[in-house]
Structure 1
Amino acid sequence: MSAKRLLLASNNAKKLTELRALLVPLGVELLAQGDLAIAEAAEPFDTFLENALAKARHAAHASGLPTLADDSGLCVDALGGEPGVRSSRFARDARQGEGDADNNRWLLQRLHGQAQREAAFVCVLVALRHAADPEPLVATGRWPLSVLDAAQGGGGFGYDPIVRPRGASAGSVATLTEAEKNAHSHRALAMRQLVAQLHERWHW
């Protein structure tokens, strides 16, 4: 492959910014599928891997470009892995509102009185050379966390205000700088694996 261009199978602006920053060392131009008027793919599966692969194939087929897809979310041990792949719609599916604030409120409500607070942000990245690529690149990152009793900090997005990196004594993920988050996050861990595979397998 001569051109280092990847299409991101997402219209999430914050995710695009984060992944672009992580790809800078490789000299890869990351495009957004919305810029090409590609609609969001369905995400009907119960695992991050299946959803990421479905999104990547959909965008690669529509664009003809090498494509990167991310599926990620928060997995809480006391809830059997919920909200998992439904992290972005956790409150909506339970008819408890919609959006980050309602998701956070609903999760804290579900965990009220629960002593077990272990959780993890999980990210699966899939990269395809083309829609029919029989050998997708797959990378996984897992960031161990503890769920707080109340929100802290105004940065980040999603569940960042109500989770703390495991072992940290204070603050939440929402109190971290962008550089700190990009050094330790589930997405950063997965991207490091993916970059190594892009070097080795795609010769980028």
Structure 2
Amino acid sequence: MEFVFATHNEHKLEEIRDLLPKGIMLKSLNELGCKEEIAETSETLEGNARLKANYVMERYGLPCFADDTGLEVVALNGAPGVYSARYAGEPKNESRNIEKLLQHMSEQTDRRAQFTTVIALNLGQQTHIFYGIIPGIITMSPRGHHGFGYDAVFQPDGLNKTFAELSLKEKNQLSHRALAFSKLVNFLKKV
């Protein structure tokens, strides 16, 4: 089986390829020759995932899945949420996003947060949706050098390490993206 993963993000691609069972081949947007950024104009993570998966299916006619992920912080009423990648404005910048988040959290005692990933799988006739949610807290400062995005300031419940302090293999055993993707893989095994 061959699918397109609607992303230009090499970090996401590496995480997902590491989770793939044998027999499933994956192409990125770059490998497909799609250089343009697919507009994420929805107000929801699910809406953005659907937009990207539908774009690839409509334009290239290939089965596709796409994800959108957001960091949702309780004390910030769910922000940055759907705007996580561009929280500090354009162009996207992970360091500035973390800096802005930590500034907004500097006076907060409630540091609860969750990472939510939504995957939309478009097989042509129907789109299937898979969620992965991991609760945790926002740390006082960045820790670790692995991962990407907000990984250095997100500590999942039950661990004393941030995602950025975990190896890719460790992160892929418990992350929001891994959880949503495992639901996708289980679905594909039944199809």
TM-score, normalised on structure 2?
0.95
CA distance in 1, matches of 2:155, 2:189: 33
TM-fit CA distance, 1:98: 4.7
CA RMSD of aligned residues (A): 1.3
Greater CA deviation, 154-163 or 26-35?
Answer: 26-35
User: Is 1:115 aligned with 2:109?
Assistant: yes
CA distance in 2, matches of 1:174, 1:58: 32
User: Is 1:155 aligned with 2:146?
Assistant: yes
Equivalent residue runs for 1:51-66 within 5 Å = 51-66=48-63
* Cα deviation 1:131-181 (Å, max 9, x = unaligned): xx2x2121000011100010111111000011111132x321100011110
CA distance in 2, matches of 1:33, 1:193: 22
CA distance in 2, matches of 1:98, 1:28: 31
In the alignment, structure 1 segments of 5+ residues that lack a partner are none
CA distance in 1, matches of 2:14, 2:145: 18
TM-fit CA distance, 1:36: 2.2
Asked whether the equivalents of residues 75 and 121 of structure 1 are also in contact (C-alpha less than 8 Å), the reply is yes
CA distance in 2, matches of 1:17, 1:98: 20
**Helix, strand or coil at the partner of 2:173:** helix
**Helix, strand or coil at the partner of 2:82:** helix
TM-fit CA distance, 1:40: 2.2
2:136 is aligned to 145
User: Is 1:19 aligned with 2:36?
Assistant: no
* Cα deviation 1:97-144 (Å, max 9, x = unaligned): 8511110010000011100000011000111112xx2x2121000011
Q: Which runs of 4+ in 1 moved over 6 A?
A: none
CA distance in 1, matches of 2:23, 2:136: 31
In the alignment, structure 2 segments of 5+ residues that lack a partner are none
Asked whether the equivalents of residues 148 and 163 of structure 1 are also in contact (C-alpha less than 8 Å), the reply is yes
1:50 is aligned to 47
Give the alignment partner of residue 155 of structure 2, picking from 161, 164, 167.
Answer: 164
Asked whether the equivalents of residues 137 and 197 of structure 1 are also in contact (C-alpha less than 8 Å), the reply is no
CA distance in 2, matches of 1:108, 1:44: 26
CA distance in 1, matches of 2:94, 2:51: 24
* Cα deviation 1:62-113 (Å, max 9, x = unaligned): 21110010111211111111111111100116xxx85111100100000111
Aligned residues: 190
Letter in 2 for 1:127: L
CA distance in 2, matches of 1:26, 1:142: 25
1:69 is aligned to 66
1:36 is aligned to 32
TM-fit CA distance, 1:44: 0.8
Asked whether the equivalents of residues 9 and 40 of structure 1 are also in contact (C-alpha less than 8 Å), the reply is no
1:7 is aligned to 4
CA distance in 2, matches of 1:22, 1:63: 25
Asked whether the equivalents of residues 140 and 189 of structure 1 are also in contact (C-alpha less than 8 Å), the reply is yes
* Cα deviation 1:1-41 (Å, max 9, x = unaligned): xxx00001111111111111112x25211101122222221
